[in-house]
Structure 1
Amino acid sequence: MREKIVLIDGHSILNRAFYGVPDLTNAEGLHTNAIYGFLNILFKILDEEQPEYLTVTFDVHAPTFRHEMYPEYKGTRKPMAEELRQQVPVIKEVLQAMNIATIEKAGLEADDLLGTISHSCEEKGMDVAIISGDRDTLQLATEHVKIRIPKTKQGRTEIEDYFASDVKEKYGVTPTEFIDVKALMGDTADNIPGVPGIGEKTATKIIVEYGNIENAHEHVSELKPPRASKNLDEFWDQAVLSKTLATIDIHADVPFDLEAARHGNMYTKEAHDYFQRLQFKNLLGRFDVEADSNDVEEYFKEITEKAEIEQVFAEAMKAKLVGVGISEDAGNVLPLFAHESGYGRISLAYDREKIYTIPADMEVTMDYLFGKLTELAKKVDTFVLCNLKKYLSLISVEKEEHCFDPILAAYLLNPLKNDYDFEDIAREQLNLIIDEKADEKTKSCYEAYTAFASVEILKKKLDETKMKKLFDEIEMPLLFTLYDMEHAGVKIEADALKTYGEQLGSKIVELEKNIYDKAGEVFNINSPKQLGVILFEKMGLPNGKKTKTGYSTAADVLDKLAPDYPIVSEILEYRQLTKLKSTYADGLAGFIQTDGRIHGTFNQTITATGRISSTEPNLQNIPIRTELGRLLRKVFVPEEGYVFVDADYSQIELRILAHCSGDEQLIQAYREARDIHRITASQVFHIPFDEVTDLQRRNAKAVNFGIVYGISSFGLSQDLSITRKEAAQYIENYFQTYPGIKTFLDESVENAKEHGYAVTLYGRRRPVPELKSSNFMQRSFGERVAMNAPIQGTAADIMKIAMIGVNRELKKRNMKSRLILQVHDELLIEAYQDEVEEVQTILKDQMEHAAELKVPLIVDMHNGNNWYEAK
């Protein structure tokens, strides 16, 4: 039986993976999508081929023999994207850790290495599989050399296979003749000039008839069409050069040791550590290795005797800093002793050599342990627990200022990552790799130790990045405010919600009937493919954009058709109503708890700008743009004896822009409390203030808010349904009116390019790696982020300060009223009827004085018996 070798064109497959897999970065900010895609292709190939030998070839990026003879054809190669370049040395290190042979040699391209090694192995009686994204390698196909060309789309890999017969069948020429076809047609990607005027079809026809370019040149006068005949004669030297450049060397001087390429165990401890560092968690299942135990593990100790537990807690309460871990440990805690919370074990670390884990049992219950943790939180200077908010219903914390959540600190240092867990902290801050297969008591000890050991490191980094004050005075206090809001929840009238859903259902059925009547048939309105056929083929609507999967029926396409075609208007309304029904009318019902309230989750570590997000359910996304969407707010009601008080910042981002830019015109307008959009319209459109129309004011409003988000002339033209030229003129006039804003935005971009991040007034950093991207669209996005992040991030910081102030004041005065919702620039209070005036005073004071800007912060406030009325 013939042995087999797999040869992989390293740069080619890495390049394919880079453009086929969406961008990924690990916690260190390293781009990893090309490495991830490469490894997936590698595993797929090896699973299919089961080879005895394996080698990956790489280019050295030095002049090759073929191109150093003709340097004029090397200089136009497109440079490698920086995001890809940084992944090349890493994949080489990963392959080395996986015991996979790699080979590269200055002066030789990867395909010369592939050609020479494959030829040598075939002569030794072996089967060869060459994996490359470069179709040049098809010339190497034989009866025993198979060329495999992967295609990666949306993370999925498909592979085309070619033996010599397959090349002949698909391209009409043999692998050797394939070289001559390329010599005639050329290849701009590989800087092969070819012969002008001869494309692939003509080149193939010529080689099929004459076999090679030399024979074709001998019969040059007979070639058809006449242009091909004339150009091959005129550019014969170029054709010869092209053939030289297109021919892969199969006799190069390559130092190849077949035995060193023998394929063995790839799943080494070193490779496992690399995969952990790169955060390829779904690939770790291929490994059957245990991580080396870290030195600290020798100090892990499980204690079960109550006397010893009491002694450990007594000792811990004398410590200045204690790290805590809390876990379920379902496998070790008997169901009889399981706590209703699901937790069954805690761990403590208060010294590098004092790390204890305590499981619950009959005598030492979780309630007892939570009570001891509450006592501990009162005593120690620094009480440390990852995801602290999650446990506040179980542990009562009196001294909020003594608490530290490492997850929040790590998030501030890298807000582009939003799914931190303690293992990430251990790896990034302590250089500890925790074995995923470790048992629960070991993991729990690690969690406590990580909490304990990471504090000083994280504090130092927060100091270095000037975010310690942001952490101490905003993020940590906010954690307790958000817990209070989650605990309070918001009341929902379940019957009213059900009625709302039924009304939507009736309207949806009515719309379906109207749409079917206009279309003349029943079809799946939710199927873009079927909808596209109905609209653009059967009904012949204009401006149909056909894609590979059918006509586009995206909102932007349909919005343009809606004014002239009632069926399109009804389809858009149908989409809106079905979304309302499924997500809110039906979806919210599942979140109503036994107390009749929804207790959602407010997240601090999700958005890169620092804004709070809401999940389970997302109460920040309740629709407000349509009346039917706004009506949903009627089902949100206060308890009996209470009313809602809603306070909303007025144009907070524009006011922050005025402050940050220092633009005197904008500052003066706000100080005079004038209509900012009407003023902008008056100055941008050069018309008296009193003559500004409502349309002009709306357009100016779009410009005002668009500028904050770095809107382009194209984006503004789409928003206002005007030409791009008109939009560009609007923007130019705007910057002439407010020159300070243009200067500020330009400087924001330059500062972000220089430092790698944008920063808010409170020191919050938002990394902008997109500014270094080789992709124009990514760089443009990065510039918009650099303009907007300081504004949006500062608005988020101010809102957080206001929330903390409002909540503290309500609690300090022992009021029954409570803060229950935050939605973007809006706060909602469930106010006890006798406290309404006092609540309004607190809201106004805390929100309007959360920051001292060059322009006043203004709050709009309303009361109501439901959220709809209050808004």
Structure 2
Amino acid sequence: MKHLSIDIETFSSVDIQKAGLYKYALSNDFEILLFAYSIDFGEVKIIDLANGEVIPENLISALNDESVIKHAYNAPFEWWCLNQAGYKTGIEQWRDTMFHGLYCGYTAGLGATGMAIGLPQDKKKDTTGKALIKLFCVPCKPTKSNGGRVRNLPHHEPEKWELFKEYCIQDVVAETEIYKRLAIFPVPQEEQDMWVLDQKINAFGVKIDTELVEGALIINDVVTRELTEEAIVITGLDNPNSATQLGRWLSEKLDVEILNLQKGTVAELIKTLEDKDAIRALEIRQELAKASIKKYVAMSEAICPDGRVRGLLQFYGANRTGRWAGRLVQVQNLPRNYLETLDYAREIVKEQNAEFLKLVYGNVSDTLSQLIRTAFIPSENHKFVVADFSAIEARVIAWLAGESWRQEVFATHGKIYEASASQMFGVPIELIKKGNPEYALRQKGKVAELALGYGGGSGALIAMGALNMGLTEEELPDVVKRWRNANRRIVDLWWGIENAVITLMETGETQGFKGLIFSREMDLVYGQDFLTIKLPSNRKLFYPKPHLQENRFGNMALHYFGVNQTTKKWEVQETYGGKLVENIVQAISRDCLAVTLKRLEEKGLQTVMHIHDEAVIDAGMDIDVEKVCELMGQPISWAPGLLLKAAGFESNYYMKD
């Protein structure tokens, strides 16, 4: 036996969607119901554990045999559940077909991946499978007709149970068929090792300040009730939280049609209105709409019995670049904190003193929002060491393009906003400092740096907030022109990559540009077809089913299949040179973080989470932040000349320094 493909079906009273895999399988009533397997991709068999069958000794031995590779779709589920059920198996022995599919540019989800990859689809079967999972894998509502039971067992629905077993078998069949189609496009060993490390980080988890979370939820309930009552008094509405009711009330009161009450609209109305009641009603809506309280709820639902939240990171969650995505609490999208008295605010919340919090800080919702980061705390007798790369994407694009003046900036003072303004407007950088009239140019340099690196124009500047920074729409084209003139090698990078891709698609011949390799990779047996970009790290970016067709501007451009971020459907996507550069730069930045995470592990340091380009380490009191930053700034073997720098801090809780 060399390969063992597995799919299991399980029961737990914990809601896996809200609490996550780790808490789900730690439940006292968790059990494995079915164990379907295939040895060396042969016939699929099933073991009915719920009806008393047992896993044979040879399979139990194989589960912990390092020479046997275990395969599953979303393998962390099988690995963690089997271990919690008493079957020892090491994560290093597992291969995740879902990750393999994501690596090759496909979407997540067994059915969705199968459809994208070309497997025959039976939508009725998919619907039936979900119904069977709901029937047997989660608690049921007690009713008179079901005898008041809270769970459906096999003998309650014997025919459906047999159907469920067939469904489990077919999942192994689908997984192995997907694996066969992906096997010719292997995951590099470095990425497999990184996947293993990611599972270890997720399984270790991060401790939660449960007192703070409980206090935040109680205070939020009090304030929500008070604000709602105040809004009812002001408006006379039954439900002032209803956008429809509030919009109608505002329209009648102001004699102006209110088209919507979206976040931006509400903020603008508060600025422009004079009616005090209308302004206050909208201010209350702003406070009640704070989404951050949902993160406290997510934490409370996901906290494991030992006070830790696990499974916060999704490996290869950002499909196009391979970056991580947030799960459960969504740590990749946490509100910033600006309060200078975080310690004091935390203590008030822990004391559940809503009135005092309001007295000291005014806007309670905003205060709770700013404290959300601080709910993550280090283990006992430990501290957080938080370090992140400084301007990582700006450094990578400068290195990749060979933009020498930018490289010089990063090798010396690192003030890229001032240096960019200096290059754009021909003003000595020494003059662009606070107190001088030239300092106003820094704002233009900053927004240009944030918005224009990937081929964007005036629209990108507006999207980045240029108009809110004091710039006028009329001067934006000049900002774009000046930035591009100052960064000609980056502009050349956009066009060079676009030309390499189009030449590849027209000729079929592999192209090389700036250390990147552009290839067409196909498998004629199963009809797989990709455009691949080999990065300096040897990792590849995959673009499925590539083809050339006219874009909206009438030019020939690369199109490929992917998930439309608006419709969430698998359909044709259009791209261009600047967008490809964005994919590549973000992917290389991601690879720099991956190298750092491995280095931290090799030094015996425990990363508990990482947010974009920042690592959060659960460190012993003897660990020094300067040493961690020095480690992050070390050269990377596959990126000679890339100048990395990190900054960091130490804290008793997570925050934005």
Give the conservation status (yes or no) of the 8 Å contact 1:752–1:768.
Answer: no
* Counterpart among 95, 101, 104 of residue 404 in structure 1: 95
Over residues 643-679 of structure 1, what are the superposed CA-to-partner deviations in whole Å (9 max), with x where a residue is unaligned? 1111111111111111222112212211223311111
Aligned mates of 1:828, 1:662 — CA distance in 2: 31
- Per the TM alignment, residue 726 of structure 1 is displaced from its structure 2 partner at its CA by 0.8
- Taking structure 1 as reference, are residues 606 and 862 closer, same or farther at Cα in structure 2, changes over 3 Å only? same
Root mean square deviation, CA, Å: 4.1
- Taking structure 1 as reference, are residues 367 and 638 closer, same or farther at Cα in structure 2, changes over 3 Å only? farther
Aligned mates of 1:829, 1:600 — CA distance in 2: 16
Residue identity opposite 1:359 in structure 2: D
- Per the TM alignment, residue 370 of structure 1 is displaced from its structure 2 partner at its CA by 7.5
Aligned mates of 1:399, 1:356 — CA distance in 2: 23
Q: Match of 1:707?
A: 452
Aligned mates of 1:359, 1:559 — CA distance in 2: 58
Over residues 765-805 of structure 1, what are the superposed CA-to-partner deviations in whole Å (9 max), with x where a residue is unaligned? 35698985765799997446334212222222332332234
Give the conservation status (yes or no) of the 8 Å contact 2:11–2:32.
Answer: yes
Over residues 491-547 of structure 1, what are the superposed CA-to-partner deviations in whole Å (9 max), with x where a residue is unaligned? 222222233344555666676688789x7765855444444445565336xxx7x6x
Give the conservation status (yes or no) of the 8 Å contact 1:348–1:356.
Answer: yes
The answer as to 2:31 corresponding to 1:342 is yes
Give the conservation status (yes or no) of the 8 Å contact 1:678–1:689.
Answer: yes
Aligned mates of 1:808, 1:846 — CA distance in 2: 13
The answer as to 2:515 corresponding to 1:800 is no
Give the conservation status (yes or no) of the 8 Å contact 2:101–2:108.
Answer: no
Aligned mates of 1:750, 1:765 — CA distance in 2: 18
Q: Match of 1:583?
A: 294
* Counterpart among 533, 540, 560 of residue 763 in structure 1: 540
The answer as to 2:196 corresponding to 1:480 is yes
Q: Match of 1:861?
A: 648
Aligned mates of 2:296, 2:335 — CA distance in 1: 12
- Per the TM alignment, residue 488 of structure 1 is displaced from its structure 2 partner at its CA by 1.6
Of Structure 1 and Structure 2, which has the larger fraction of its residues in strand? 2
Q: Match of 2:311?
A: 600
Aligned mates of 1:753, 1:524 — CA distance in 2: 57
Aligned mates of 2:648, 2:226 — CA distance in 1: 38
- Taking structure 1 as reference, are residues 864 and 427 closer, same or farther at Cα in structure 2, changes over 3 Å only? closer
- SS of 1:491's equivalent in the other structure is strand
Aligned mates of 2:237, 2:551 — CA distance in 1: 48
- Per the TM alignment, residue 828 of structure 1 is displaced from its structure 2 partner at its CA by 0.8
Q: Match of 2:110?
A: 420
Q: Match of 1:357?
A: 46
- Per the TM alignment, residue 410 of structure 1 is displaced from its structure 2 partner at its CA by 1.7
The answer as to 2:328 corresponding to 1:616 is yes
Aligned mates of 2:2, 2:289 — CA distance in 1: 56
Q: Match of 1:323?
A: 5
Q: Mean Cα displacement is larger for which, 384-393 or 782-791?
A: 782-791
The answer as to 2:528 corresponding to 1:820 is no
Over residues 131-162 of structure 1, what are the superposed CA-to-partner deviations in whole Å (9 max), with x where a residue is unaligned? xxxxxxxxxxxxxxxxxxxxxxxxxxxxxxxx
Aligned mates of 2:60, 2:169 — CA distance in 1: 19
Residue identity opposite 2:49 in structure 1: A
Over residues 535-592 of structure 1, what are the superposed CA-to-partner deviations in whole Å (9 max), with x where a residue is unaligned? 565336xxx7x6xxx5133333344454444865983685355424541233422222
Q: Which one has a bigger Cα radius of gyration?
A: 1
Aligned mates of 2:475, 2:497 — CA distance in 1: 26
Aligned mates of 1:354, 1:713 — CA distance in 2: 59
Q: Match of 1:288?
A: none
The answer as to 2:254 corresponding to 1:539 is yes
The answer as to 2:573 corresponding to 1:833 is no
Q: Match of 1:553?
A: 261
Q: Match of 2:373?
A: 633
- Per the TM alignment, residue 360 of structure 1 is displaced from its structure 2 partner at its CA by 2.6
- Per the TM alignment, residue 642 of structure 1 is displaced from its structure 2 partner at its CA by 0.8
Give the conservation status (yes or no) of the 8 Å contact 1:325–1:448.
Answer: yes
- SS of 2:380's equivalent in the other structure is coil
TM-score normalised by the chain length of structure 1: 0.52
Q: Match of 2:474?
A: 725
Residue identity opposite 1:614 in structure 2: G
TM-score normalised by the chain length of structure 2: 0.67
Q: Match of 1:716?
A: 461
- Per the TM alignment, residue 734 of structure 1 is displaced from its structure 2 partner at its CA by 0.5
Residue identity opposite 1:688 in structure 2: P
Aligned mates of 1:637, 1:439 — CA distance in 2: 46
| 1:133-172 pair list within 5 angstroms | none
Aligned mates of 2:390, 2:409 — CA distance in 1: 14
* Counterpart among 210, 216, 219 of residue 494 in structure 1: 210
Aligned mates of 2:51, 2:226 — CA distance in 1: 61
- Taking structure 1 as reference, are residues 687 and 798 closer, same or farther at Cα in structure 2, changes over 3 Å only? same
Aligned mates of 2:241, 2:640 — CA distance in 1: 49
- Per the TM alignment, residue 607 of structure 1 is displaced from its structure 2 partner at its CA by 2.3
Residue identity opposite 2:216 in structure 1: Y
Give the conservation status (yes or no) of the 8 Å contact 1:532–1:552.
Answer: yes
Q: Match of 2:414?
A: 674
Q: For structure 1, list consecutive stretches of 5 or more residues without a partner in the other structure.
A: 1-318, 331-337, 463-467, 811-816
| 1:240-279 pair list within 5 angstroms | none
Q: For structure 2, list consecutive stretches of 5 or more residues without a partner in the other structure.
A: 13-26, 129-161, 340-366, 506-529, 555-563, 565-571
Residue identity opposite 1:408 in structure 2: F
| 1:438-449 pair list within 5 angstroms | 439-449=163-173
Give the conservation status (yes or no) of the 8 Å contact 1:758–1:789.
Answer: no
- Per the TM alignment, residue 686 of structure 1 is displaced from its structure 2 partner at its CA by 3.1
- Taking structure 1 as reference, are residues 329 and 568 closer, same or farther at Cα in structure 2, changes over 3 Å only? closer
* Counterpart among 388, 391, 395 of residue 78 in structure 2: 391
Q: Match of 2:67?
A: 379
Over residues 268-293 of structure 1, what are the superposed CA-to-partner deviations in whole Å (9 max), with x where a residue is unaligned? xxxxxxxxxxxxxxxxxxxxxxxxxx
Residue identity opposite 1:320 in structure 2: K
- Taking structure 1 as reference, are residues 606 and 674 closer, same or farther at Cα in structure 2, changes over 3 Å only? closer
- Taking structure 1 as reference, are residues 712 and 803 closer, same or farther at Cα in structure 2, changes over 3 Å only? same
- Taking structure 1 as reference, are residues 516 and 750 closer, same or farther at Cα in structure 2, changes over 3 Å only? farther
